[in-house]
Amino acid sequence: MTPRIETIAIDSLMLRLFDQIDEANMPWLMAAAERLHAAFGAQLIDLVPSYTTLMLHYDCLELSEAQALERVQLALKGLQPLAMNASGQRHELPVWYHPSVGPDLQPLAHRAGCTAEQVIERHCSRDYPVFTLGFAPGFGYMGLVDPSIAAPRLATPRQRVPKGSVGIAERQTAVYPLVSPGGWNLIGRYPLALFDRERDGYSLLKPGDRVRFVAIDQPEFLRLGGDPTPMEPTP
């Protein structure tokens, strides 16, 4: 693997490690991030992992671009991927899967040619790496879901998606941490907080973490503090 390095600002570099989204990318990206943190130390302002890239923001008052490039090249020399269990935390997220809070559950099952129960089983059947955070604070883009339950975004996004809504878009899945617009296919709801200003780092999820969804019933959802307010079915 030979990363491509691009200058994107006077104090920022983009490291392109891969060309396609793949779960196998994450151990390499997290290994690179670990080495870059060590190589730049106090001169590192921010490091943002994504599906295939790392955006590196350094202190240009302390380092020239040539010096930053040299540090990157030395840090990535002989890079090896981290073990999956060493690249982040593993979270189990309880979800109440039900058409009242997941109005796209039945349509998605129909599209997949299976039952709603089978959609739930497939969604809960694997650990998902968190590729990156974006769109809203604490919104973790995860994947890849079973191809049979992949579905395109809605043609018309909803104006209001409730906090905790669990959705699928193409082969990615995510939980909406806040009330917001959104066009993902909603299949259930998570009862707890993903983003909390009182939490260290604010977001429960971080790039490189792994997530396993666990189906729960409505009484357990309510016990955990979930909001059962139903949504309108998809037009």
Q: Which of 36, 56, 86 is the last residue of a domain?
A: 86
Average pLDDT, integer, range 40-54: 94
Q: What is the mean pLDDT of the chain?
A: 93
Evaluate if residue 190 carries a pLDDT over 90. Answer: yes
In this structure, the answer to whether residues 149 and 188 fall within a common structural domain is yes
- Convert the pLDDT of each residue in 72-111 to its tens digit: 999 999 999 887 666 689 999 999 999 999 999 999 999 9
pLDDT value of position 23: 86
The dihedral region occupied by 88, where left means phi > 0, alpha psi between -120 and 50, and beta the remainder, is left
User: What is the CATH classification number for the domain harbouring 63?
Assistant: 3.30.1360.40
Enclosing domain of residue 15: 4-86
Q: Say how far apart CA 184 and CA 167 lie, in whole Å.
A: 5
Residue 51 shares a structural domain with residue 159: no
For residues 60 and 27, membership in a common domain is answered with yes
Whether residue 167 is contained in a domain is answered as yes
Tell me how many domains the chain contains: 2
pLDDT single digits (tens) 117-162: 999 999 999 999 999 998 888 899 998 999 999 999 999 999 999 9
Give the separation between CA 99 and CA 171, rounded to whole angstroms: 20
Q: What CA–CA distance (Å, rounded) separates 167 from 231?
A: 14
* 113 and 218 assigned to the same domain: yes
**Domain check: are 113 and 175 in the same one?**
yes
Domain co-membership, 77 together with 138? no
Tell whether 159 and 217 lie within a shared domain: yes
Q: What is the pLDDT of residue 136?
A: 87
Domain boundary among 33, 68, 86: 86
Question: Is the same domain home to 150 and 82?
Answer: no
Position 190 in a domain = yes
Residue 3 has a pLDDT of 86
CATH number at residue 170: 2.40.100.10
| pTM of the predicted protein model | 0.87
Task: Examine the domain organization and report whether 163 and 63 are in the same domain.
Answer: no
Does a structural domain hold residue 230? no
